[in-house]
Structure 1
Amino acid sequence: MFLKPYRLKSSAALKGSEVKKLRARLELAFPHISAEQLLPAKANVTQLKILTHGGVASVVYCVDKQPMYFELDGGQLVPTLYALWSTRELLPYFTTHEGVLPKLTNGADLMLPGVVPLGVGLSMYGHYKKNQLIAVNLTNNNAAIGVGQLARASDELYMCGGHGVAVKMLHIFGDKLWSHEPSMLQQLPMLKTKPLSSEDFPALGAAPTKAPKPVTPELLPPPTETVEDWEELESSTAAITLEEPVEDPTAAAETILKNAFLTALKHHGKKLPLPLLTSNFYRLYVVTEAAEPIDLKKTRYKKLSNFLAEMVDQGFIVVREETKGVDKIMSVDLEHPELVNFITDVKKGEVSGGNAETPLFHSELKEMYIVSDATAAFFTKMNFKRGEGIPVAQLKKIVREYMSKHNLLDVQTKLVKPDEVLLELYGDRQCSLSEATTLIASKMEHSYQMCSGKDTSGKPQIQMSLATRSGNKKVTLVSNIEAYGIIMAELIKLCKQGAAASTSIVKLPHQKHEQLQVQGNQVRFIYTLLTETYKVPPKCILGLELAKDGKKKKK
C-alpha cells in the first residue's frame, strides 16, 4: 500500500476534542491496551490526508511527527511499525523466515509456505477471522517487520494445504510510510525471540491478550502521583518518538516569509520588470512561492514595509519612494552571498522533509550481522564496536583481513591457525577461511537494515570541476555522484529549479558513472545542495575552492 510514493493532500494538527475521539476509536479497536499506551495525553497529534500511488485516499495519524496509525477504506485503524515497536501487544503475530523479508519489501504478500506454523492440526495458524489485522515478525527477531490482513480465516488457511496467500501486506519495513519523517527514522529493533504458546492464539473472535483489570476510582493514585506517572511515561516515550521542542510560531512565520522572499528572487530575479511596485512584488512573486500561507501579523514585522526595509538593510534589494506611500523596487543583488547559497523551499523543505512524491536516494534492504558480546573481542581489533551492523558481503573480507594481519593463514594448507581470540570463539579446530567466517557468523545476531546513499563508507569522493564549452561558456562538472545512491533525475530537477541553470548528464567514454553538467559556475550551489539537502559530509566533496566568493569584483 505504501511501497510507492504517495501524495500529501493536507496536514492539520488535531484539536483536543478530535484527539479524544481518536483515542476512543483506538480503545474500541484495541480494548486490551491501555489508553495511555495507545495515545499519550500530552502528545501532539497530526492528521495527514494522503493519496496513494494507486489512487486510494487514506488518513495517517502522526504522534509527535511519527506515523503511528493509518485508516483503511472502511475507517478501520491500523497500527504502523512504530506503534508496534512501542507496544508489541497491539496485534497477534505470524512468524516468517529471514529470507522472506527482501521479497516482502519488493511488494510480495506473505505466502503460506513462508509462515512458520505452530504445532499441527487446525491450530497451526491460530484462530483468526478473515481480514483480521496481523503483524509479521521473523524467526530470529520478535520485532514487527510488517502489518497486513489475513487473506482467509485460520481454518481455511489450514485447508489450503500450504499453498496460497496468508497475509495481504499493507505496511512493510522500509516503505514510504516508515520513512515519512526522515528525522524520526528508526531501524528495525532487535527483540529476542522466545517460545510461543497457545496463549498467542486466542479463540475465534477473542482479543489477542487478556484484558487488564478495570481500575476502580478508589484505586486511582492521587494527583501528585499522576503527574509523576506522566513524567515517567514521557521519559519512556522519548526514546521512541524522539520528541522535539515546540517551534516558536513567530519564528516559524518569519522563516516562511523570508524563504518565500528568497525563493522569489531565486526564481524570478533575472526577469523582474524593474522598477516594480513593492505591493505587486509581494502579491505576484512572494506569496505564490510560499510553502505555506503567509501571515504578516504573526511576524514581528506586522507590515510588509517593515520587512522590506530590513531586506534593504541586508543588501538584497534597493527600494525608492516615488510618491508618498508608493514604493518601488529599483534593483536586486542576485550575487548576494545568502541568496547564492540559498536552496529554495520547494527542494529543501518538501524534499528533505520527506513529503515529496519522489525520494532523493536509491534505497535497498541490506542483510546485516550484528557484533555480539561473544564476537566483540574479535571485531574490536578491526575497529568495529559492540552492537554495530556489518553487511553480509563484507563479513568474509573483514575475517580475511584479520587472518592476514595476524598471519594466521597457512600458505600451504590454506587453513587458519586460531589465536587466543579465535580459541574463545570456536575452539582449537583448524579450518578454512570460509568455515571460520561461518563459525564467527553463527555467534552473531542476524538482522536487516534499510540503507541508502547516506552511508558514505568506502565510497569515492565527489569531484567538482570547471570547464569551458562552445561559445566560451563556463560549466560545472560533478563526478561520482551516483556512488552515493543519489537519484540523478531528482538532482537534475533540483539544480534546474534552484540554480536556474541548464543541467544535463554527460556519459564519458570508458567511465562507469555518469557526470553531472550545470551551466555556469555553480560549485557553491552544488556543494550546499549536497551537504544540506543530501547530507553528504563535506570531507567527501572536492573542488569547493573553485566557487565564487559571492562578491562583485571592482573594476
Structure 2
Amino acid sequence: MFLKPYRLKSSAALKGSESKKLRARLELAFPHVPGDNLLPAKANVTQLKILTHGGQPSMVYCVDKQPMFFELDGGQLVPTLYTLWATPDILPYFTTHEGVLPKLSNGADLMLPGVVPLGVGHQMYGHFKKDQLIAVNLTNNSSAVGVGQLARSSDDLYMCGGHGVAVKMLHMFGDKLWAHEPTMLQQIPLVKMKTLTVDDFPALGSPDHQRKVIKAPQPEQASSPEPISQATESVELESSTTALTLDETSETSAVPEAPSPDEATPETLLKKAFLAALKHNGNKLPLPLLTSNFFRLYVVPEAVEPIDLKKTRYKKLSNFLAEMVDQGFIVVREETKGVDKIISVDLEHPELVNFITDVKTGASSGATAEKLLFHSELKEMYIVSDVTAAFFTKLNYKRGEGIPVGQVKKIVREYVSKHNLIDPQTKLVRPDAVLQELCGNREGTLSELTSIITSKMEHSYQMCSGKDTSGKPQIQMSLATRSGNKKVTLVSNIEAYGIIMTELIKLCKQGAAASTSIVKLPHQKHEQLQVQGNQIRFIYTLLTETYKVPPKCILGLELAKDGKKKRK
C-alpha cells in the first residue's frame, strides 16, 4: 500500500476535541491497550490526507511528526510499525523466517508456506477472523516488520493445506510511510526470540537426566514399588551407555562439513571481507547505501587478497548479497529497477558477533595478523611542482600531489592523444600552448616530453599500504560524433573501480534522461559507456559524489559544456 510514493493532499493539526474523538476510536478498536499508550493526552496530533500510488485516498495520523496510525477505506485504524514497536501487544503476530523479509519489502504478501505455525492441528494459525489485523515478525526478532490483514479466517487457512496467501500486507519496514519523516527514522528494535539451550537437554546418563527420568514415577512410590525398580533399571541401562552431550554431537556432525582452517577459497575470503566491513563500519554506514558502493568502498578494502566475484560460485554481487540477506545480516531494497540499496544491518547477528570476538581476542594466526598490519610498500613518486602545476591541474592533480613514476608517462600519453598532438607523418608530438611552457616549441617523442616534464618535478618516495589504488587506470571521458552530427559522451575504464555497469546505466538513464548503452570500439580493449549528448559534467558528478571516485582519477572534465572545472 505504501511501497510506492504517495501524494500528500493536505496536512492539518487536530484540535483538542478532535484528538479526544480519535483517542475514543482507538480505545474502541484496541480495548486491551490503555488509552495513554495509544495516544498521549498532550501529544501534538497531525492529520494527513494522502492519495496512494494506486489512487486510493487514506488518512494518516502523526504524533509529534511520526506516523502512528492510518485508516483503511471502511474507517478501520491500523497501527504503524512505530506504534507496534512502542506497544508490541497491540496486535497478534504471525512469525516468518528472516529470509522472507526482502520479498515482503518488495511488495509480496505473506504466503502460508512462510508462516511458522502457532500450534498443532486446527490451532496452528490461531483463532482469528478474516480481515483481522495481524503484525508480522521474524524468527530471530520478535519486533514487528510489517502489518496486514488476514486473507482468510484461521480455520480456512488450516484447510488450505499450506498453500495460498496468509496475510495481505498493508505496511512494511522500509516503505514510504516508514520513511515519511526522514529525520525521525528508526531501525527495527532487536528483541531476540527465546531459544532452547543446551541446559534444556542434559546429557544421557548425567545426574540431571536421571533426576528427570525418576521424577515422573515419584507420586506412585508408596503404592507401586515395581514401576520404581523398572525406572531405576532403565536409568542404569541409560547410564551404562556412552553419554553424548549436544555440544559433542554438534561438533561431530559439523566436522565433515567444516572447511579446513588453512583453506582459503574465494567464497570464504569474500565472506570474511564482508564480515570485516560490517565490523569496522557497521555503525558508520550511510544507510541507505548502494550495494555496489558498499562492496567497492567497504568490502574490497577489507579483503586480504583481491576479490574476483567471477571466480566464486556467486558470479555476481547480487547473488552474494541475496545469500547475506537470507542469512539475516542485511536488508536490501530495490530503490528503482536495477538499483539496489542496503537499508539496514543486523550488528547483533550471532556469526558477526563471534567474528568480532575472534578478531578482538587475536584468534587469527600471527602470520595473518602481521600481514594485515604491515602490508605496505615504498613507491617512487614525482611531486607536482609549481612549474608543472599548470599542466597537471588540467588533469585533476593538485600542486604538491604525488604521482607514481609509471603513471606520469600514461598521463602525458593520454593528454597528447586526447588533443591530437601527434604528427601523422613524423609520429612526433607537436606541443600545444600548455606543453610549450614546459618543453618549448621543439617537437619530440613521447618519452622525451615525459623526461623533460619529470625533470621539472620533485623526486620523492612514499610509503603506500596494500589498499593503494594509484595503479588503476584513470577514467577517461571524451566526446564523439555519431550520425547526424549528434554528440555522444564516451567513458572508459569504469570497471577498474568496481562499478557495476548495469547499475550505472540505470542511473544515467534516470538522471540524464538520455539514451545510454555499452559499446566496444575496434581500437579499444575494454567496453565503453556511451551516453547521448554532452553529459561530461553529469558523469563527473555521478562518479565523484555517488560512487566516491577521487577526482584525480577522472580525465576529460574540461570538455563539459560550460568549460568550468567543478571545485571540490
Higher RCO, 1 vs 2 (CA within 8 Å, ≥6 residues apart):
1
TM-score under structure 2 normalisation? 0.45
TM-score under structure 1 normalisation? 0.46
